[in-house]
Structure 1
Amino acid sequence: MRFNQLMARLDRLRRSIITRLLLLAITVVMLGFLGRLTVLRSILMADIGTLSAAHQTSIAEYAARDVEDKIRLRLDLLNGLAAAIPSRALAQPQRLDAWLNEHHAIQPFFSAGLQLVGEHGAVLAATKGSETLSAPAANDWFAGVKDTQATYIGKPFRLPDGSDAALTMAVPVYDDAGTITAILAGTSAINAPNFLHLLAEKKVGETGDFLLVDPRDRVFITAGKPDLVLKPVPPPGLNSLHDMAMGGFRGTGITTNVSGVEELAAIASVPTPGWFLVARTPTAEALRPVDHIVDLVIRGSIVVSIVVFSILLVMLPRLFRPLTRAARQLHLMATGEQEIRALPIDHADEVGEVAKGFNFLLGVLREKESALRQSEARMTHLAHHDMLTGLPNRAMFEDRLDQVLNRVQRQSGSFALLYIDLDGFKPINDKSGHAVGDAMLCHVAQRLQDCVRKSDTVARIGGDEFVILLNDLEEPLTGAVLVAEQCRNAASQPLHHAGQSFSIGLSIGIACYPAHGRSAGALLRHADQAMYRMKKMQKEDCLE
């Protein structure tokens, strides 16, 4: 019995995710002896690339669904208006104009106006604001409706005043016998507040943007860069991923745009008009966390910590049309008209089983979203803080120093830098071991933090080197000398570790703005040189 229990436990450990992650970590560490930096970079590039691709796909699909909903809304409105046009009113232009303007005022989804066009191209009625549009017979939507006998979305064009790009949708108007007697067309500015303006305004990440492409007419409908709007798409051969998208590919990929910038792009379909939407971000931005982690490994020369990202494919619930109530709620959630929440379970039947499955999936997605946010927070912290002491690292210190320089240059303020090196640290680290050395670094870090204000910055920029940035000092040199003395006194307090007592001293160099420099480099050099002069003087005093 005990043997069976032991075997069952071993089998659970073998199948455990934790066991697999541990085995993966051991494998990566072993490979690290041969090429640690290369292996680490390749793994992180793959994992973060996959995560970025999944995130970007979600953004593209959400934006594409929003565009699809807005197109469908306008087409449904046009079809509803076409069906409601009184057949007798077709011969009464004034009555038609009033009727059309009245309905357009109630539902103003076509910012450039509505037109009712006869079968030969004559304008039967039009709303205010549509007079400047070109003759219907000269537009592709007029011929498109007549050729297809169905709804047609025209080619995007520039409004006559040149202010914005616009799009015309047209639907046939039937008489009682089912014959097309007229065409109802609605034109809207693409960047109208209730249409596609968000695609031009919103960013993907920090510098990425959206592209909305019409493969039929081979033009960009709208884009984050205004100079691309209504421009022809690149000719075949310039961008392989774009060529695949024009051929029907939907998904993610890495490509180089016509400007020579490598991008991570996600492509999603807008089914009704046959368009596709591209969410793109420079790979340098998407993979920026990799560079931060590699920098930490190089500077610190510490044991490489492998963070394994578990990426789960988010499964979208399929809409089951026969299940009317559940499908309706899911559609409202997808369009944002209703918050995402658990479906009610009224009965233990097939609908109840679908609701249970969706509710379970919703709980899993929320858990995974929370875990992803925590992981991103940890990655952000690691990129800007020293792993041993928790203090800001060199990158974060330099950023804060630049911020202070910019502020004092605008406001004519002053501040001081303290460059600190530990005296006697190497003998402690070599003789008593790295554990004692690490404890001493943490001990000094805490003592330094106790000596400054919350608005000041204490950072570790090297093995046993620290810097302190003292903000808003009326007398920078006097204040810096006082803080330096407090730091020496605080750091001189012995560290008690494993039954032993260890003491250490500090060599501190001071640089004040603007007396010792007006740039970050000049101030750091002055403080560093002052610290070495102080260390030299202390050595000479000891020899005497």
Structure 2
Amino acid sequence: MKGGISWRLGLALALSGVLAAGLTGYYAYSASRQLLVSAAEQRLVTATRVLVRQLAVGLDGTARDVLMVAGHPGAGRMLLRTDPELVARNETTLAQLFRQMLETHPEYFQMRLMDAANHGLERVRVDRDDIGVTRVQGEDLQEKGHYPYVYEALRLGAGQVYVSRAVINHEVGAHAGHGKPALEVSAPVLDPHGVALGVIVINVDLNGLFGQLAADLPPSLQLYLSNAQGEYLVHPDRSKTFAFDRGQSSLVQDEFPGVRELLVNPPAQDEQTVVTRSEGSDASVQVAAFVRQPATALKAEEDFVLGLSQPLSEVLSESDSLGRMVLRIVAAFSAMAVLLAALLARALTRPLAQIVRAVEGFVGGLRSDELPTDRRDEIGMLARSIEHMQLQISGQFAKLAQKQHELDHLASHDSLTGLQNRRFFMDRLDHALAHARRDQGRLAMLFVDLDGFKEINDSVGHAAGDAVLKALALRLRHLVRESDTVARIGGDEFVILIDQVSDPEDVDVVARKIRDALAEPVQWEGRELRVGASVGVGRFPEHGQDAETLMVAADQAMYRAKSGGGGLICHAEAPPRRLP
């Protein structure tokens, strides 16, 4: 009873220690994961705000470039058309200026000067193409007065800049910018009285602009950009960008539901930030921060929503080392608790544990010497009873093993001669045929029937017949190789499997030895008993491809030898012949 209480007490102590260590480790691990997520969100917010400011700075830089060119004296003089020679020189000067600006700014893929008096006709145009920067002249110049970046800019005053919506550039003859996402930044060219003479337009490569912004970002961060409706303009999956241009819908608020607040309630002047997570399975969840671009001095058709995300799994991967450390601590304290409980249980219940080990070690009737039989209490009585039981079981196991051995021998051997029986022989024959087929080998089977054996049984008696069978079985066993098989399959019928035959003549040699050996007399109670032997020979593969066919072929050959007068050796499917 004390032992049971000790075990329960030790188990309670062990469970208490393991539970305390486990709960402490779990809460420490959970708190660390929350801290990591919070820190990652703050980093994303900071990085997103920096990118938004860089975007604003980039657009402001483009606006300054547009205003600088729009205020260039040559632009106004060329559009006034006062002197043709002066107009030509100004065109050349502006074209060189456009070329230098495109070469300096890889995110620009087109600069143009539009004439307000001729429906927005391009007067000076420089494009970026696949091989570099080129000037477009003559009939390739187009009228663009129907585009917002022309007529909206013509309405602006001095120092004002127009920024278009981000769209896919479908304008014909746009060279490198065709089919790519673009922004048009434009400003009016004014005469001294403030009248708009034309428009300076810079086409900005949106991918190039954001490629520069994302160049210094870690590879694990993903960049997103949408317009004020939430339609993707930049996304890691290119198939989701500008889906509206293809008549499809791909919205940031569908992937990151928290962004809907930015779109519904845009900020007035101060930037507004939202921290959210993407929808999906645990393995694909993204932690993200989005900022909507606040209003600037630029006259933009719509705001931008810019965001950065990082896989939640990567954020939490930093907690793996802490988790492993916590796990080691929990495992150490748990092991200590279990060890103390085990020591207490061992000290209080050692004799019972000794008996348990003895019983567990008693396998297959083996006797164990670990029982505490020298004790004089109830445990000693139990140990001595178990020892007595072990002795009885060991005896029963020994008898059972002996019986099993005898049964196994009887199942595969002839009880009179000790040779293998028919069932065992057929199994060996199947295996030998399988090996011969696989290795393209040869084998032979001899079917032996004794001549004159029935007369000995009838005239001398069955005891004499049994003695003859035993003696002849012993001779057959000595005449063949260890790899060959001899079996008795009937009263006076024997079969011999000769494996791995290299020369058919060797089979005939063995058959003659068997026939001659069986013809030798057998001594029994002072008498000489004689029998003969008729032998049928079947060979694989000539006379059969399987065990049954080969057995039947050899049996038929034996019967031909028998019908030929006995003492003959006949091959399957061959007429009887007497070997010399």
TM-score, normalised on structure 1? 0.41
TM-score, normalised on structure 2? 0.39
Query: Max radius of gyration: which structure?
Result: 2
